[in-house]
Amino acid sequence: MTGGGDEGDSVRDEFVAEAQEIIEALSRDLLLLDHGQKEGNPDPDLVNSVFRGVHTLKGIAGMFGFADLGEVAHVLEDLLDQLRLGRVELTQEVLDVLFEGVEVLQRLLSAGPEAPEADLDGFRGAVQAVLDLGEEAPSDFGAYDLDTGVLSVLTEYEEHRLRTNIDQGVPLYRLRVRFGLTSIDSDLEELKARAKPIAEIITYLPSMEGGDDDSIDLEVLLASRVDVAELRDALCTASDAELEPVGSRGAGASGHTMTPPPPDEPTTSHPPASPPAAPKRAEERTGAPPAPPRDVGADSLSVRSVAKTVRVDIGKLDHLMNVVGELAIIRSGVGRVLDRVRGNPEFRALATELHRIHRGFERHLDDLQDGILDVRMVPLGQTFDRLARAVRQVSREHGKDVRLQVSGADTEVDKLIVEELTDPLLHIIRNAIDHGIETSSDREAAGKPATGTLALNAYQKGNHVVIEVEDDGSGMDAERILASAVERGAITVEAGEEMQRPEKLGLIFLPGVSTAEAITDLSGRGVGMDVVKTHIARLGGVVDVHSELGIGTKFTITLPITLAIISALVVRVAGRTYCIPLTVVQEALVLDPASVRRVEGHEVITLRGATLPICRLDGLFGLQQPAGASPKEYVVVTSLGQRRLGLVVQGLEGQQDIIIKPLGKTLSDVKGFAGATDLGDQRVVLVLDAPSLLEEVLAGPEVRAAGLGATS
């Protein structure tokens, strides 16, 4: 009925996915450029790569009716072209505009082609402003002993690169090599690859002299800080290759050959390319060890471009996972048949054979499952890149000097989790920069380094991934949080008095609780921390906070690696079967009814000297015990961070790998279940959401009431 429309949609989805990838790559490259610019050696290849990305985006945006997107890409392309050719200098201001451009692209892409025409004038104005800063740089290489023949055929871009290298005092070399006519393409590529880590090839031309019918001499102009001998070793692999430095025509080039800078030179952060500047910079560099000419950015770029990848809709993977689930059910069916065949001595040989086949099937099924899970995994790096962009932006907005330290970007997490992680992490980071990290002057006054540090660490811990966001800012005031919570009526004064510091800090995850001094603080920290917690909890994770006044704050998010499959303990409660994720189970033991005591309304038992609160699931769920049930009960000890809770059940049925499937929206108001699963024997079984049970049972009635108040 809507076949044509669907097809159009899928093609457009494809475009959106591709555009998203390009935008992410742009943002990654810009961050590398930003880094390079701060270090003083931005990689020209990165500018090229950004230029190419924007160019591609412009092309495909037009085809899919994203007119605004194409327009912005076009404006950006112009700016990048000027940058590439050196007519505009790469400064923080220009980077700001480029970053803004990427934001605008992202926004337009999310809005879709039907969105009302966006107001792009502001952005166009910003681009124009930086374009106006640009000016024609001098174009005379008289100071160098360069062949005018070569100079006259330089492209604008090559000319710019040549000038930049001269400005930075990078020595120039002329390399003459002979290539066979038949292999010139591959030989040239090989030469470029060899030169890449140590030198920049500015241009190459067929030489006027030399060469014969089968070969051709190439004259290569290159710039390098590596010394001649090393360069010769690396590049002159063929015996007939010659390398010679390009000499200066008379040292201390006098100004007369170069155009003086225009008098109305606008203020840029870089010294302009004027004659006095160039030799001075060269002098500064003499004696210093040669700087590494390339950073890793260029290499990772080339890796990316050859990567063989396929984009897959996650729904398709879910479907495959369902099929694996069905196969697992078939497997246990075969297992049951096998048991019956085994029981019959007549069929012993048959049983052995069936057993072997069954084992093989099982092994391959496990492989298949692992394979599908592996496909779902993506590194956190993508998310971290987005966050790095946000850090840069937010810290500039707030006039804070913040350095971002990232570790563990290659830690892999389920794609679905990664998608859902950006928002909560962004929120924490915004808060850290806005409220945590102090201004440079405050920091110096407090004896801290002027630049604040925000650390983003990820690592795998068993079946979980831990993500930490740590700042070295002013820390959180537990008393103020408490006061705010009391003021909001989230807890009573008395309850607050009994709280330990970590518990008080934990109050920031309640709706409306804030660390801000007064309600006048509009951005108010805490507004939304409850949202962060809900977000993370929905992913089956937990978030904790540690903070020391004056030293800093650390948020720790612990997440399951995948949502798709978990090990679970199968238990029976009042004749019904439930699963408890094994990740939260510490141990299970027989309940001794005589050992149960009541403390403050909770039933507790003593386990190896420590008090353990317990919860009777049949009571909590309002289930009737079937008649004639065995009085024997068990305690499953679950834990979440430091907190523990014993769940009282009537039977333990063993351990099983299960695929958690979500409950429908109709049941979203039912607390305490993470989902449901098909056990092999056609039974649908609910999976307990241990963290939320722990929360529900252990939280005081006040907190519970506050939580309910927020959801209604």
Partner 1 sequence: MSGSGITRRDTVVPAAPSRSKEPARGHATRDFLAFGLAGERFALPLAAVREILKVAPITEVPRARPHVLGILSVRGRITTVMDLRRRLRMAPAGDDDKQRRILLVDGGQEVVGLLVDEVYQVYRLHEEEMELAAVVAGDLSEYVFGIGRPGTLDEEVEVERDEILILLDPEPLLKR
Summarize as ranges the residues that interact with partner 1 (CB under 8 A). Answer: 322, 325-326, 576, 620-623, 661-673, 675-676, 678, 682-686
Tokens encoding 346: 């007549």
Strand partners, 639: 644
What is the closest distance, in whole angstroms, from the C-beta atom of residue 674 to partner 1 in the complex?
Answer: 12
What is the closest distance, in whole angstroms, from the C-beta atom of residue 568 to partner 1 in the complex?
Answer: 15
Q: State whether residue 639 is helix, strand or coil.
A: strand
Chain Cα centroid distance, residue 39:
23
**Residue with structure tokens 């050719």?**
85
What is the closest distance, in whole angstroms, from the C-beta atom of residue 547 to partner 1 in the complex?
Answer: 35
Sequence-separated contacts (24+) of 443-451 with Cβ below 8 Å:
446/550, 448/472, 450/401, 451/401, 451/402, 451/403
Give phi and psi for 610, each to the nearest 5. Answer: -110, 150
What is the closest distance, in whole angstroms, from the C-beta atom of residue 365 to partner 1 in the complex?
Answer: 15
Q: What is the spatial distance between Cα 386 and Cα 215, in angstroms, rounded to a whole number?
A: 50
State which residue, 145 or 678, has the beta carbon closest to partner 1.
678
Tokens encoding 179: 């290539």
What is the closest distance, in whole angstroms, from the C-beta atom of residue 619 to partner 1 in the complex?
Answer: 11
What is the closest distance, in whole angstroms, from the C-beta atom of residue 658 to partner 1 in the complex?
Answer: 12
**Amino acid symbol at 562:** T
Q: What is the spatial distance between Cα 367 and Cα 481, in angstroms, rounded to a whole number?
A: 50
Q: What is the spatial distance between Cα 507 and Cα 529, in angstroms, rounded to a whole number?
A: 10
What is the closest distance, in whole angstroms, from the C-beta atom of residue 667 to partner 1 in the complex?
Answer: 6
What is the closest distance, in whole angstroms, from the C-beta atom of residue 457 to partner 1 in the complex?
Answer: 36
| 150 closest CA partner among 195, 189, 206 | 206
State which residue, 276 or 662, has the beta carbon closest to partner 1.
662
**Residue with structure tokens 């001998």?**
229
State which residue, 49 or 562, has the beta carbon closest to partner 1.
562
State which residue, 135 or 678, has the beta carbon closest to partner 1.
678
Residues in the chain: 712
CB-based contact 124:75 (threshold 8 Å): yes
What is the closest distance, in whole angstroms, from the C-beta atom of residue 612 to partner 1 in the complex?
Answer: 23
State which residue, 585 or 686, has the beta carbon closest to partner 1.
686
State which residue, 19 or 693, has the beta carbon closest to partner 1.
693
State which residue, 6 or 283, has the beta carbon closest to partner 1.
6
b/e per residue 276-297 (b: at least 16 CB within 10 A)? eebeeeeeeeeeeeeeebbbeb
Q: What is the spatial distance between Cα 46 and Cα 49, in angstroms, rounded to a whole number?
A: 5
With a CB cutoff of 8 Å and minimum separation 6, the contacts of 568 are 579, 580, 581, 582, 655, 656, 657, 658, 677, 687
Q: What is the spatial distance between Cα 264 and Cα 339, in angstroms, rounded to a whole number?
A: 92
What is the closest distance, in whole angstroms, from the C-beta atom of residue 535 to partner 1 in the complex?
Answer: 21
What is the closest distance, in whole angstroms, from the C-beta atom of residue 684 to partner 1 in the complex?
Answer: 4
State which residue, 210 or 672, has the beta carbon closest to partner 1.
672
| 673 closest CA partner among 551, 541, 516, 540 | 540
Q: What is the spatial distance between Cα 48 and Cα 240, in angstroms, rounded to a whole number?
A: 33
Apex CA 528: angle with CA 527 and CA 529, to 5°? 100
What is the closest distance, in whole angstroms, from the C-beta atom of residue 368 to partner 1 in the complex?
Answer: 16
With a CB cutoff of 8 Å and minimum separation 6, the contacts of 639 are 584, 586, 645
With a CB cutoff of 8 Å and minimum separation 6, the contacts of 94 are 79, 83, 88, 130, 133
Q: Cβ–Cβ contacts within 10 Å for residue 11, how many? A: 12
CB-based contact 387:393 (threshold 8 Å): no
What is the closest distance, in whole angstroms, from the C-beta atom of residue 712 to partner 1 in the complex?
Answer: 13
Apex CA 341: angle with CA 338 and CA 347, to 5°? 130
What is the closest distance, in whole angstroms, from the C-beta atom of residue 412 to partner 1 in the complex?
Answer: 26
What is the closest distance, in whole angstroms, from the C-beta atom of residue 574 to partner 1 in the complex?
Answer: 10
State which residue, 320 or 375, has the beta carbon closest to partner 1.
320
State which residue, 185 or 669, has the beta carbon closest to partner 1.
669
State which residue, 129 or 670, has the beta carbon closest to partner 1.
670
State which residue, 309 or 666, has the beta carbon closest to partner 1.
666
**Amino acid symbol at 671:** K
Give phi and psi for 145, each to the nearest 5. Answer: -85, 70
Give phi and psi for 544, each to the nearest 5. Answer: -125, 155
State which residue, 157 or 673, has the beta carbon closest to partner 1.
673
| Cα-trace Rg, the chain | 33
State which residue, 223 or 645, has the beta carbon closest to partner 1.
645
What is the closest distance, in whole angstroms, from the C-beta atom of residue 564 to partner 1 in the complex?
Answer: 13
What is the closest distance, in whole angstroms, from the C-beta atom of residue 698 to partner 1 in the complex?
Answer: 18
Q: Cβ–Cβ contacts within 10 Å for residue 645, how many? A: 23
State which residue, 642 or 668, has the beta carbon closest to partner 1.
668
What is the closest distance, in whole angstroms, from the C-beta atom of residue 577 to partner 1 in the complex?
Answer: 8
State which residue, 78 or 653, has the beta carbon closest to partner 1.
653
Q: What is the spatial distance between Cα 301 and Cα 303, in angstroms, rounded to a whole number?
A: 5
State which residue, 195 or 647, has the beta carbon closest to partner 1.
647
Beta-strand ranges (E) seen in 600-664 are: 602-607, 610-616, 634-640, 643-649, 651-659
| 692 closest CA partner among 540, 485, 509, 482 | 540
State which residue, 500 or 682, has the beta carbon closest to partner 1.
682
